[in-house]
């Protein structure tokens, strides 16, 4: 289906390019070299640029980026500043994976116009799909810059399309000194982010430098075009989506053994100098090994499974080296390269406010951090990770990293401390696991990492010490990353027929938020849902609960119990829909006390978020919120638990803002204009759809928000933070109340304090000292009780030993107590273990039937164990139990069978001896 699309690119044929079929991969390519038979794309052909640069001059990242942007600015493209690497404007992905991701879905769908047209950008991107290949292939990176030029065409206006795009690409390469005969365009369909289209991969010297995507397809269940297993249909808009790899262009210009040597040589030098035993990696012989390794790795799409093993065997044969000799060079080299790459990735992640955690985008940050820490340890890198981030900053002066450098340092130190604790705890966990099952599966490795943060390499080392061999999958980290790359989009259930049938509901709650009643016409009734032409009822959304109230008609009144939005239609769920008829005019009345509290809590949420940024730093990001009638909550990302002093400071600031009675302003803005003016912090509360977005501003806090708000901060009333909790690593929750709801919580807390003071017969002011005194007295009394229990246990032991029954040389103690606590039974059992040749069966037969059995070392040496005896005993009395060889506990439900159980234990002992 796409062949016609490629043949439409007349520029190629007009400029002497010939379409050929590659005999190796069976794909078409275009070339001006009449002798060329292969497409030139590895593995069809190896790299030819290593050691032989393809451009007439060397470039670094900065000069190459400037060259590209300048080229397209001179050709009518407007330069766009790069978007963040954390895709705040998207709810389906966490990280920016390509330059086109900046414009999906709103611009690419045509819903929103592009910020410029045509435009040029150099967009930092992060992809963790091939995390395990970084450092090994010589070409894989976690973070890279996609230089791109885009043109957004529609049926009414075409900027430029295929021919011009190919011409630009060829001209740019020519300007760098590449001859036409050296340029190959390979046909390769592209798909991603719900769009697809024909694509030309641009190759020079065997290296893919650019992709020219002609995006003109969109996913559709009934589509007639299939690409990579997905169905697509033609879309009205057609978009030039190009991607020129900045790092690859720099690599091609220098011809170094790896891309890493070309783009961050200074960082690599620091790692070599500050690591133990990496001096060997500076020799010419090593350069040759690495260069050959990159060429061979370039022949493989990935290094999974046997491919990595085969590469090393082939490499050792080609270089005439033993595998062990080769690995002594390659293994530390790969880790050094990966550490250099990962630290650059962390610089971009942390600078964009990404906080490491165990979920969402934070999971990906922690994954990269912990890999970096582990690799630094394995090569003996002596400096803190922050020093590598600083070194990268020097080569990336076009970006503003300095502002958050202190924050990055704090986050990395915090993560290093957490990692250290994780390892010390995890080693014991692995040892226990190996005692149980003698081996560790891939699922075990995933569970140990996902739930306990334990890297598989550490697990492998612990297992090796016990003689157990573990195989770590080559794609272990890549698979983990792939499971966490996509965002958790909340899909709205839409009824297309309903949306088509009714016009958008006019939203009076925006126009007149303080109005309590309104008149509207009934447009439809669907089950218990009523559709009106206009409404004051706010539907649930943005964490704010829906309004409730009544709808009054000629027939009577019915309560509105829920309100929801479907597309642009608002559905009012009522108790009795028979009270209204289609076409009649009804009167609606909202519960304004409920509405007012929602308004207070929503405005308070914005104020608290603003205050947390002032106290904690501008890296704070909203991770969730809920605004209810009686209270509200705000979840924020932060690298450590909030202190009591920080919470108090936040509370002081929010109430200062309330007292200042600042005007709460809101307006509808063009999405692109709002993003340009305020940035992507607009989307703290989520990403609203549409060309126009509602922007709410309180002092210097500006957010895209569809909720109802007070007109002035003074209307919020006092804000009381009720509690602050760490709900997961990297996320803190602030629960609070505002206005009359806050007053109720304060009054309730006063009642609790007064009641407590009354019970203790002291004034409220003296409660802390009194409680502290009582607590200290309780601790002293507890110690005295423990001493008395131990003394009593010793006395009981003496008496019990006197009454012991002899079985061979074993002294059997059996004693039933009326209602003894389990812990007391255990204490006596522990004391009896200190006596020679003793088995003790201790039974408490009161509210519940409890059993403790203890045996000492001499008895254990004869093959008699407490955990075996407890099973014999408890199986007779209708229960179960377990424990260790020297002490076990259990219980049962049949006290009448206790004597029978003791007899069976005695029989077992007699059999064993």
- Sort strands 838-845 and 810-817 into parallel, antiparallel or unpaired: parallel
Tokens 């958790």 appear where? 488
The pLDDT tens digits of the residues spanning 578-593 come to 999 999 999 999 999 9
Give the model's pLDDT for residue 306. 57
Spatial distance between the Cα atoms of 665 and 701, rounded to a whole number of angstroms: 11
Q: Confidence class of residue 598 from pLDDT cuts 50, 70 and 90?
A: very high
* Rounded alpha-carbon distances, angstroms, from residue 221 to 20, 194, 591, 863, 889: 34, 12, 44, 69, 61
Pure H helices in 557-708: 592-616, 644-659, 671-678
Spatial distance between the Cα atoms of 508 and 74, rounded to a whole number of angstroms: 49
Residues pairing with 525 in the sheet: 530
Give Cα 473 distance to the centre of its chain. 22
Structure tokens at 417: 């401390």
The pLDDT tens digits of the residues spanning 104-138 come to 888 888 888 999 999 999 999 999 988 888 988 88
Spatial distance between the Cα atoms of 410 and 617, rounded to a whole number of angstroms: 12
Residue 566 near residue 493, CB atoms below 8 Å: yes
Predicted model pTM: 0.79
Spatial distance between the Cα atoms of 910 and 869, rounded to a whole number of angstroms: 12
Spatial distance between the Cα atoms of 639 and 413, rounded to a whole number of angstroms: 10
Which has the closest alpha carbon to 264: 69, 394, 84?
394
**pLDDT (mean) for 426-438:** 77
pLDDT at 820 over 90: no
Task: Return contacts of 157-160, CB within 8 angstroms, 24+ apart.
Answer: 159/117, 159/118, 159/240, 160/118, 160/240
DSSP 513-572: TT--EEEEEEEEEETTEEEESEE-PPPSBTTBPPP-EEEE-SS-EEEEEEEEEETTEEEE
Residue 538 near residue 621, CB atoms below 8 Å: no
The residue that leads in pLDDT, 642 or 298, is 642
The DSSP element (H or E) to which 905 belongs, if any, is helix 898-912
Give the model's pLDDT for residue 789. 64
Kindly report which listed range (200-204, 266-270, 492-496, 540-544) carries the lowest average pLDDT score: 492-496
Residues pairing with 249 in the sheet: none
Average pLDDT of the chain to the nearest whole number:
87
Q: Where does 699-778 show beta strands of DSSP type E?
A: 701-704, 719-728, 731-738
Give the model's pLDDT for residue 547. 94
Residues pairing with 123 in the sheet: 146
Give the model's pLDDT for residue 173. 97
% of the chain residues with pLDDT over 90? 49
Give the model's pLDDT for residue 336. 92
Give the model's pLDDT for residue 496. 64
pLDDT at 299 over 70: no
Spatial distance between the Cα atoms of 1 and 556, rounded to a whole number of angstroms: 62
Residue 852 near residue 845, CB atoms below 8 Å: no
Spatial distance between the Cα atoms of 3 and 124, rounded to a whole number of angstroms: 32
> Cα torsion for 403, 407, 413, 418, to the nearest 10°?
-140
Q: Confidence class of residue 100 from pLDDT cuts 50, 70 and 90?
A: very high
CA atoms within 13 A on the CB side of 114: 29
**pLDDT (mean) for 526-537:** 93
pLDDT at 53 over 60: yes
Q: 3-state DSSP call for residue 432?
A: helix
* Rounded alpha-carbon distances, angstroms, from residue 104 to 112, 162, 381: 10, 21, 41
Residue 772 near residue 755, CB atoms below 8 Å: no
The pLDDT tens digits of the residues spanning 319-367 come to 677 777 777 778 888 899 999 999 999 999 999 989 998 888 888 999 9
Give Cα 571 distance to the centre of its chain. 34
Tokens 């609960």 appear where? 545
% of the chain residues with pLDDT over 70? 93
Tokens 């016990």 appear where? 466
Residue 543 near residue 517, CB atoms below 8 Å: no
Spatial distance between the Cα atoms of 836 and 811, rounded to a whole number of angstroms: 8
**pLDDT (mean) for 197-219:** 94
Which has the closest alpha carbon to 318: 334, 297, 341, 339?
297
Give whichever of 219-228, 295-304, 513-522, 788-797 has the largest mean pLDDT: 513-522
**pLDDT (mean) for 289-318:** 64
Q: How many CB atoms lie within 10 A of CB 907?
A: 11
Spatial distance between the Cα atoms of 869 and 855, rounded to a whole number of angstroms: 10
Q: Is 679 left (phi over 0), alpha (psi -120 to 50) or beta?
A: left
Q: Which residues of 298-322 are buried (b: 16+ CB within 10 A; e: fewer)?
A: bbbebbeeeebeebbeebbeebebe
Query: The dihedral of CA 94, 95, 96, 97: what is its sign?
Result: negative
Residues pairing with 238 in the sheet: 153
Residue 556 near residue 508, CB atoms below 8 Å: no
Q: Confidence class of residue 298 from pLDDT cuts 50, 70 and 90?
A: low
The residue that leads in pLDDT, 186 or 294, is 186
CA atoms within 13 A on the CB side of 60: 9
Give the model's pLDDT for residue 488. 57
Give whichever of 272-276, 430-434, 653-657, 690-694 has the largest mean pLDDT: 653-657
Residue 1 near residue 210, CB atoms below 8 Å: no
The pLDDT tens digits of the residues spanning 707-757 come to 999 999 999 999 999 999 998 888 999 999 999 888 888 888 878 888 887
**pLDDT (mean) for 657-683:** 92
**pLDDT (mean) for 377-388:** 93
Instruction: Please confirm whether the linkage preceding 105 is cis (ω < 30° from 0).
Output: yes
Q: Confidence class of residue 304 from pLDDT cuts 50, 70 and 90?
A: low
Give the model's pLDDT for residue 486. 66
The DSSP element (H or E) to which 748 belongs, if any, is helix 740-760
Structure tokens at 702: 């500006």
DSSP 805-837: EEETTEEEEEEEESS--HHHHHHHHHHHHTSTT
DSSP 99-168: GGGGGTTTTTTTSS--SSSSEEEEEEEE--TTGGGTTTSSS--SEEEEEEEEEEEBTTB----HHHHHHH
Residue 633 near residue 656, CB atoms below 8 Å: no
Instruction: Please confirm whether the linkage preceding 43 is cis (ω < 30° from 0).
Output: yes
**pLDDT (mean) for 682-711:** 90
Spatial distance between the Cα atoms of 484 and 173, rounded to a whole number of angstroms: 37
Q: 3-state DSSP call for residue 509?
A: helix
**pLDDT (mean) for 608-620:** 94
What radius of gyration do the chain's Cα atoms show? 36
**pLDDT (mean) for 216-221:** 86
**pLDDT (mean) for 431-453:** 78
DSSP 300-349: SS---THHHHHHHHHHHHHHT--HHHHHHHHHHHHHHHHHHHHHHHHHHH
**pLDDT (mean) for 23-51:** 91
Q: How many CB atoms lie within 10 A of CB 253?
A: 23
Instruction: Please confirm whether the linkage preceding 704 is cis (ω < 30° from 0).
Output: no
The pLDDT tens digits of the residues spanning 385-396 come to 999 999 999 889
Structure tokens at 674: 């709002």
Give Cα 215 distance to the centre of its chain. 29
Q: How many CB atoms lie within 10 A of CB 803?
A: 10
Q: How many residues does the chain have?
A: 913
Give the model's pLDDT for residue 483. 73
**pLDDT (mean) for 18-37:** 93
Q: Confidence class of residue 39 from pLDDT cuts 50, 70 and 90?
A: very high
């Amino acid at each position: 289906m796409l062949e016609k699309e490629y043949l439409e690119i007349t520029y190629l044929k007009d400029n002497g390019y010939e379409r050929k079929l590659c005999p190796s991969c069976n794909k078409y390519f275009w070339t001006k070299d009449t002798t060329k038979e292969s497409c030139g794309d590895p593995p069809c052909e190896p790299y030819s640029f290593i050691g032989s640069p393809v451009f007439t001059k060397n470039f670094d990242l900065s000069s190459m980026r400037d060259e590209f942007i300048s080229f397209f600015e001179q050709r009518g493209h407007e330069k766009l500043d790069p978007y963040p690497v954390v895709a705040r404007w998207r709810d389906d992905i966490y990280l920016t994976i390509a330059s086109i991701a900046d414009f999906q879905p709103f611009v690419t769908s045509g819903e929103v116009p592009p910020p410029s047209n045509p435009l040029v950008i150099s967009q930092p991107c992060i992809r963790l799909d091939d995390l395990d290949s970084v450092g090994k292939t010589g070409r894989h990176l976690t973070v890279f810059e996609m230089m791109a030029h885009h043109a957004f065409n529609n049926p009414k206006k075409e900027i430029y399309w295929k021919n011009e795009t190919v011409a630009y690409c060829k001209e740019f390469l020519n300007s760098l000194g590449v001859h036409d005969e050296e340029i190959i365009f390979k046909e390769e369909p592209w798909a991603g982010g719900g769009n697809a289209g024909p694509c030309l991969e641009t190759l020079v010297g065997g290296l893919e430098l650019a992709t020219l995507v002609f995006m003109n397809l969109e996913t559709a269940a009934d589509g007639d075009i299939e690409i990579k297993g997905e169905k697509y249909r033609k879309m009205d808009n057609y978009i030039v989506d190009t991607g020129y790899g900045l790092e690859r262009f720099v690599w091609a210009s220098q011809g170094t053994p790896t891309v890493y040597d070309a783009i961050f040589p200074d960082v690599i030098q620091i790692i070599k100098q500050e690591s133990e035993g990496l001096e060997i990696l500076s020799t010419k012989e090593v350069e040759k090994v690495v260069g050959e390794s990159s060429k061979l790795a370039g022949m493989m799409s990935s290094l999974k499974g046997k491919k990595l093993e085969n590469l090393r065997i082939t490499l050792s044969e080609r270089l005439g080296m033993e595998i062990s000799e080769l690995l002594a060079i390659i293994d530390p080299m790969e880790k050094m390269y990966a550490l250099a790459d990962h630290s650059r990735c962390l610089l971009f992640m942390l600078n964009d406010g990404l906080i490491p955690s165990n979920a969402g985008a934070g999971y990906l940050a922690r994954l990269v951090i912990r890999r970096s820490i582990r690799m630094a340890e394995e090569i003996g890198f002596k400096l803190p990770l922050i020093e590598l981030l600083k070194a990268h900053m020097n080569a990336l002066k076009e970006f503003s990293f300095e502002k958050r450098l202190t924050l990055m340092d704090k986050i990395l130190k915090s993560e290093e401390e957490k990692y250290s604790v994780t390892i010390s705890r995890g080693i014991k966990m692995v040892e226990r696991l190996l005692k149980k099952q003698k081996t560790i599966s891939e699922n075990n490795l995933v569970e140990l990492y996902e739930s306990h943060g334990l890297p598989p390499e550490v697990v492998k080392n612990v297992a090796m010490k016990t003689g157990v061999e573990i195989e770590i999958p080559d794609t272990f980290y890549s698979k983990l990353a792939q499971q966490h790359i996509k965002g958790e989009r909340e899909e709205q259930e839409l009824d297309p027929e309903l949306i088509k049938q009714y016009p958008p509901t006019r939203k009076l709650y925006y126009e007149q938020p303080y109005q309590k009643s309104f008149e509207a016409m009934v447009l439809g009734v669907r089950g218990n849902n009523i559709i009106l032409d206009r409404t004051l009822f706010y539907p649930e959304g943005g964490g704010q609960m829906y309004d409730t109230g009544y709808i009054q008609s000629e027939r009577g009144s019915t309560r509105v119990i829920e309100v929801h939005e479907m597309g642009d239609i608002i559905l009012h769920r009522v108790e009795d829909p028979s009270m209204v008829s289609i076409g009649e005019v009804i009167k609606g009345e909202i519960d304004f006390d409920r509405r007012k509290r929602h308004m207070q809590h929503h405005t308070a949420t914005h104020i608290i978020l603003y205050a947390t940024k002032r106290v904690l730093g501008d890296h704070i990001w909203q991770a969730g919120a809920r605004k209810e009638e009686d209270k509200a909550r705000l979840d924020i990302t932060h690298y450590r638990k909030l202190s009591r002093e920080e919470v108090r400071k936040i509370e002081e600031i929010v109430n200062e803002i309330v007292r200042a009675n600042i005007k709460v302003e809101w307006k509808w803005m063009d999405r692109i204009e709002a993003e340009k003016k305020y940035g992507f912090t607009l989307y703290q509360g989520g990403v609203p759809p549409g060309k126009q977005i509602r922007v709410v501003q309180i002092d210097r806090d500006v957010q895209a928000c569809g909720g109802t708000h007070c007109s002035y901060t003074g209307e919020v009333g006092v804000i009381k933070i009720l509690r602050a909790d760490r709900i997961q690593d990297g996320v803190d929750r602030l629960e609070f109340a505002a206005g009359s709801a806050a007053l109720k919580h304060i009054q309730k807390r006063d009642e609790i304090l007064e009641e407590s003071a009354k019970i203790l017969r002291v004034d409220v002011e003296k409660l802390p000292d009194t409680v502290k005194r009582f607590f200290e007295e309780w601790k002293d009394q507890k110690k005295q009780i423990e001493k008395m229990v131990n003394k009593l246990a010793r006395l009981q032991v003496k008496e019990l030993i006197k009454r012991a029954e002899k079985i061979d040389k074993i002294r059997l103690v059996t004693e039933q107590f009326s209602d003894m606590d389990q812990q007391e039974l255990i204490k006596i059992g522990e004391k009896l273990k200190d006596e020679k040749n003793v088995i003790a069966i201790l039974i408490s037969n009161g509210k519940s039937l409890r059993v403790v059995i203890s045996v000492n070392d001499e008895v254990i040496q004869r093959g008699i164990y407490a955990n075996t005896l407890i099973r014999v005993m408890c199986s007779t009395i209708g229960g179960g139990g377990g424990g260790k060889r020297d002490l076990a506990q259990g219980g049962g439900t049949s006290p009448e069978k206790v004597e029978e159980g003791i007899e069976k234990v005695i029989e077992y002992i007699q059999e064993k001896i």
